[in-house]
Amino acid sequence: MFEGMIRVTGHFALGLTIIGLVFRSTLYWLIPVMPDEPFGLADIIELLIFYSLFGSGVFLIISSLVLAVFRKAKPAMKAFSIGLLSPLLYYVIHAYVPKLV
């Protein structure tokens, strides 16, 4: 059951990374920022996406350490790599995603 939850969280993190990058390249540019406001609704949505990715990444890293204790190396490495790379890659790539709209 624990490995199934880790698998679902890994798929959630990968899917949220793709959804976040698609959002950044399309809908982000269509949501206007109100005059005299530093941030708009799109920035808040993007922040929620990143915090969700960060939270799932922390969960995956901690659960990979638990799996490593029980000598399940392959699922532990997969969970660790997804938990580490998905928030990191999203943070690095999202600024370079071109505007597709």
The model's pTM = 0.85
Give the mean model confidence (pLDDT) for residues 74-94: 91
Tell me the per-residue pLDDT of 45-81, one tens digit each, with 9 for 90 and over: 999 999 999 999 999 999 999 988 988 888 899 999 9
pLDDT of residue 13: 95
Question: Which are the contacts of 20, defined by CB distance < 8 A and separation ≥ 6?
Answer: 46, 49, 50, 53, 90, 94
* DSSP-assigned letter for residue 95: T
Q: How far apart are CA 101 and CA 99, in angstroms?
A: 6
pLDDT > 70 fraction of the chain, expressed in percent and rounded: 97
pLDDT of residue 98: 82
Q: How far apart are CA 30 and CA 98, in angstroms?
A: 14
* DSSP-assigned letter for residue 29: G
Question: 95, 21 in Cβ contact below 8 A?
Answer: no
